[in-house]
Amino acid sequence: MTRKYRIYQLDVKNENVIRDHKVYESWDMLNRTAGFNIHQYIKVYEGTIEVGENTSDMMALDELFEMFNIRHPQDYHAHSLSVSDVVELDGTKYYCDDIGWEKI
């Protein structure tokens, strides 16, 4: 089964992102302080992943996390997938938290 994904990372050139300390913050901490704002993100990559028919979103996201930390595609030039990044999987966005994923 083919799943479409997009990876978004905070736009660190945006002074508001740095001022609000949003880079690498957990979902809980982010929402206690500045709050989540998708408009402060930029798309850094998109592609497809092949997974089994019964693969849950969480399993697919974990596979993507491993891929973008251990075996980056040749044309991927952003930082490794990490806390505060967003992955859109078949149109649903998920926040990479300090442990696991938060559906946005």
> How many other CB atoms sit within 10 Å of the CB of residue 59?
12
The residue among 83, 57, 42 whose CA lies nearest residue 3 is 57
Question: Domain limits at 91?
Answer: 2-103
Q: What pTM value is reported for the model?
A: 0.90
Structural domains in the chain (count):
1
| Structure-token match 């595609």, residue found | 73
**Going edge to edge, which strands form the sheet with 86-89?**
41-50, 2-10, 86-89, 92-96, 101-103
CA distances from 75 to 47, 48, 54, 78, 97 (A): 11, 14, 29, 9, 25
Percent of the chain with pLDDT over 90: 70
What digits encode the pLDDT tens for the residues 53-81?
999 999 999 999 999 999 999 999 999 99
Residue 87: its H or E element: strand 86-89
